[in-house]
Amino acid sequence: MTPIFDDDARATIATAMDAQVPGAAALGSVEYVEQLLTALDHDPPHLWAAPGDWAGEGPAWLELGPWERQAWTQRLGDVRAVYQRVIEGEATPADERIVHAHACEATYGDPAYGGNRHGGGWQRIGFPEPLFPPTRAPQ
């Protein structure tokens, strides 16, 4: 995936993520945020990973309906603004709660979403590999 933030901005976001969940950046939390913010650049959008190989042939990502796309356009615009404030050192407490939520999702969510690199987040807490995982791109 192509980074959307420059190196300095990525480093700032990584620091903010690690302040919430130590080790989050090493597990791919910045990539998680970048994948989220660019999700609608793809068709289908990279928002809901489709079931993996166990389900047979199928798309890697699920389609959104037009209204869902509208909601996510609005939501991702708001998220983009949050990270802009993080980069500029102007994050509010509400922004930090969103960064916290994303750090948790990036660390302990499925690797399909760009974080939890090689399942490292799960390994460090002993969470078992799911029986029916979604499709995952090579990391």
Partner 1 sequence: MTDCDVVIVGSGPGGATTAEVLTRAGWSVVILEKGRNHLLDLTPPFASRRHFANDEVAATRRHLLGPDPLLEPRTYRRDETDGERILVGEVNNLPSTVGGGGVHADAKLPRFREEDFHLRSTRGPMPGAAVEDWPVQYDDLEAHYAAVEISFGVAGEAGTNPFAAPRRNDFPMPPGPDMPMAVVSAAAAQRAGFHPYRAPSGVNSVPYDGRRACMDCGFCGGYGCPIEAKGDPVAALRRALITGRCELRPEAFVTDVLRRADGRRATGVRYLDLTGYPTPPVREVHAREAVVLACGAFETPRLLLRTGLGGDLVGRFLTNHFQTFTVGIFPEPTGGERGRSVTHLHDDLMIDTPALRAAAQSAGLPWLRGGVVEHGSGPGPIDEASTYSAGADHLEAMTNSALRRRIWAFTMQGEDLPQAHNRLDLDPSVRDAWGFPAGRVTYAPHAHERAASAYAAPLHEAIMRDAGAQAAFSATSPPQGDLTLQATLGPLGIAPSSRHVMGTARMGTDPATSVVSPEQRLWEVDNVLVCDSSVFVTSAGYNPTLTLAALAHRAATLLSGGKS
What does the binding site for partner 1 look like in residue numbers (CB under 8 A)?
19-23, 47-52, 54-56, 58, 62, 65-68, 70-71, 74-75, 96-97, 100-101, 103-105, 107-110, 112-113, 121-122, 124-128, 130-134
- Name the minimum Å distance from CB 105 to partner 1: 6
Amino acid at site 12: T
- Name the minimum Å distance from CB 42 to partner 1: 15
Nearest to partner 1 of 7, 125 (CB atom)? 125
Buried b (16+ CB within 10 A) or exposed e, 101-135: ebbbbbbbbbbbbbbbbebbbbeeeeeeeeeebbb
* Whole-number Å distance between alpha carbons of 113 and 111: 5
Nearest to partner 1 of 8, 78 (CB atom)? 78
Residue 30 structure tokens: 């910045």
Nearest to partner 1 of 14, 96 (CB atom)? 96
Residue 21 structure tokens: 């969940």
